[in-house]
Amino acid sequence: MAFYWLFLCSTSLSIFLFDLYTPLGVAAGTPYVLVIFCSLWFKGNQSTYIAVILSIFLTITGFFLSHGQVAPMDVVLTNRVLALSTILITAFMVLKLKQANHEISSLKTESYIDALTQCKTDRAFVSELITEIKRCKRYKHSLSIAIFDVDHFSKLIHTSKSNKPQSERLIKNLSSEISSSIRNSDQLYRISHDRFAVIFVETDIHEAKEVSNALREKIFKLNHSNFQPGFTVSAGIASLEPDDNRRKIYKRAEKALMQAKANGRNQVSTLPEIKRNDKMLVPAILLRSRSN
């Protein structure tokens, strides 16, 4: 920010001195548009307004203080009016461009945040999973993903219209429970209507399964005031392998989820399959710091 104001002042002063020692009749005030264009460095409109006011002031001041005249006064006045018009038109274009950039940024943010749960969306999931895979491969770190899917959710939403608020409340509560059970470094996403994904960073498949199992059991035991009686979730888990890309690891997690569904639902499956050994592993859900 300080660099811009330094640039604004030094550039404006240089243009003003050039205009001051240029005979009237030469459109020496036009270069002020450069100062206005440079206000695009900042999102707010304040920098543009200041650049416009300063440019107009110096253009008019230069008209009165310039030495000599090489053209008739009507030509001089025409040049000054054109210079001022160019400044105003440039400012209008810059402000419109800033507005368009703001709208694009807002749309991008909306596409990355789910309106109902305030979780990140599937678009954010794809983008951030690619980034995490690259990072973990580079530094040889563990990475696991889990896909949580609500069991028999379609029956709930298709029963009647009156169930829609109830199903939305269920989804919000479910996202809240998952979010409160993972670390700050782990990321939660709502990737479809009744499906959530979690990226477990620095986490192998055993720990991811322990966390997911503890979360599944917690949801199963929740008070019926928050969830439908008998409401359950299933989960599929996969961990990063050397030749993985985001499609491969997601397909394994999805296949593990289908396996959990086929085995009776309300359970967690992994690919490759691993056996739970409570004698060797303290449940990871007790060891991991929470997001709150």
Task: State mean pLDDT over 130-155.
Answer: 93
d(C-alpha 83, C-alpha 103), whole Å: 30
d(C-alpha 203, C-alpha 124), whole Å: 20
**Which H or E run includes 195?**
strand 195-201
Q: What is the four-CA torsion angle of 248, 252, 258, 262, rounded to 10 degrees?
A: 140
Classify residue 266 as left (phi > 0), alpha (psi -120 to 50) or beta: left
Closest Cα to residue 11, out of 44, 80, 58, 46? 58
pLDDT the model gives residue 283: 47
Q: How far is CA 255 from CA 10, 53, 147, 154, 262, in A?
A: 63, 62, 10, 20, 10
Lowest mean pLDDT among 37-51, 145-159, 179-193: 145-159
d(C-alpha 253, C-alpha 144), whole Å: 9
pLDDT in tens, 219-274: 888 755 455 555 789 999 999 999 999 999 999 999 999 999 999 999 999 998 87
pLDDT the model gives residue 277: 52
* Residue 259 and residue 224 in contact, taking contact as beta carbons nearer than 8 Å: no
pLDDT in tens, 34-79: 889 888 888 789 889 999 999 999 989 988 888 777 778 888 888 8
Contacts 24+ apart (CB under 8 A), 132-137: 132/199, 132/201, 133/240, 133/244, 133/245, 133/246, 133/249, 136/201, 136/240, 137/240, 137/242
Residue 110 has pLDDT above 70, yes or no: no
Residue found by looking up tokens 């990355």 in the block: 112
Topology of domain 120-286 in CATH is Alpha-Beta Plaits (3.30.70)
